[in-house]
Amino acid sequence: MHIQQSPQSLLSIIIPTLNEAEHLPSLLDDLRNQKNISLEIIVGDGGSSDATRSVAEEYEAVLVSSGQGRGAQMNAAAGQASGDYLLFMHADSRIDDPSLLSDAVRTITLESSEYDRIAGHFRLRFMRSTGRNGMAYRYIEEKSALNRTNTTNGDQGLLLSRGFFKDLGGFDESMPFLEDQRIAETIRSQGKLITLPGYLKTSARRFEAEGFHRRYILMSMMMGLHSVGVNEFFVRAPGLYRAQQDTGTLLLSPFFTLIWRMMFDKWGIGGTIHTFYRLGRYIRQNSWQMFFFIDVWLRPLFGVGRYPCLSFHDRIFAHCTNFRVLDALTGMICFIWFMGVLAPFFWLVDLRERMRQERSA
């Protein structure tokens, strides 16, 4: 099987992989079926021990080896790209529309005539094996169409010109994760990020394997701590992003324990108060998500494409709650909820989960 390539390809597709032999062929088949566009496929592999490399070679994709870490892998692969535009995709993505990429490039090209520094991402649709948590998935899918801070991740793809990518300095390789969030916020601060027509399908495997609510709680913790600059959380949490094939039920108690240790060993009372005050401000600034959730929940009542609660937040609520004292109060509630309620709860349920795993081993 062969994917059309050319030294002068218009679009370079960059796919970071680590043991993705199960999912990569499906994506490469979807790319082969794209119409009205010439593609260059580059696989940035981080040392796969399965048949990933053989799959890439079978499809005649360019294979670039690098150290592990999506940021490092995508930077290495981008260095070999010859396309005018780069599209970074995850290996477990799927494409239904054979015109998706040609439409996307046409859109970004038209927008580039007005904005030089522009990038785009797609909406998401989850590929699920069960019907559980349907409302929560629908909320995430609708949120993926927005262009608000901390709403864009690598599952949505990232399309931009090769020149703009070089100007951005590529992906941040300082940590082996969150490189997608960091480059998205850099684009927002230095240029313009738009939602492209159509959607990408992405696997819900991690949510389903680890437990939807457990994964979402950890994601919330990570985004909050990263946004307020608590990078030692990530430095002191080795293996935080395990290979997806090795995941089981996600145990949250080790992460709560780590936060307690940082509070006692590093932050002290003053540092803890300051950290949760900043977290309170972060939560207040993201309070729009609660209003957006209500809009999605009441979709049958409001209709498609209407967000009255979100509009109320932006026009009224956000302006009426922009006070430091409210940040402090929200930070205190955050501390009580996460460290006084969720932490003890997950210490107990994780203990029961460990006992269950030991019995079944």
CB burial of residue 155 (10 Å; 0-12, 13-18, 19+): buried
Residue 211 has a pLDDT of 92
- Measuring CA to CA, how many Å separate 10 from each of 28, 41, 102? 17, 11, 10
Phi and psi torsions of 224, nearest 5°:
-65, -50
Distance CA 84, CA 105 (A): 10
Amino acid 246: pLDDT: 53
pLDDT digits (tens, 9 = 90+) for 275-312: 999 999 999 999 999 999 999 999 999 998 899 999 99
Annotation: CATH topology of 11-203: Spore Coat Polysaccharide Biosynthesis Protein SpsA; Chain A (3.90.550)
**Secondary structure element (H or E) that encloses residue 285, with its range:** helix 268-285
pLDDT of residue 238: 56
Backbone angles phi, psi at 13, to 5 degrees: -95, 125
Output phi, psi for 155, to 5 deg: -60, -25
Q: Is the pLDDT of residue 335 over 70?
A: yes
- Name the band, by pLDDT with cuts 50, 70 and 90, for residue 8: very low
Band (1; pLDDT cuts 50, 70, 90): very low
pLDDT for 68 = 85
* Residues 233-271: tens digit of each pLDDT: 887 775 654 533 455 788 999 999 999 999 999 999 999
**Domain residue spans of the chain:** 11-203, 209-360
Beta bridge partners of 13: 41, 87
Q: Which two tokens stand for residue 132?
A: 């559980």
**Structure token digits, residue 160:** 């931009």
> Rounded to whole angstroms, what are the CA distances from 226 to 4, 154, 340?
40, 17, 21
Give residue 305's region: left, alpha or beta (phi > 0; psi -120 to 50).
left
- Kindly list the distances between the CA atom of residue 216 and the CA atoms of 42, 105, 137, in Å, as whole numbers in the listed order: 31, 32, 11
> What pLDDT is recorded for position 3?
47
Query: What six digits make up the tokens of 30?
Result: 């979807």
pLDDT category at 330 given cuts 50, 70, 90 is very high
Q: Name the 3-class secondary structure at 126.
A: strand
Amino acid at 284: R
Confidence of residue 16 (pLDDT cuts 50, 70, 90): very high
Q: CA–CA distance from 76 to each of 134, 227, 300, 302 (Å)? A: 37, 27, 46, 46
Query: Do residues 84 and 11 lie in contact, with contact meaning Cβ atoms separated by under 8 Å?
Result: yes
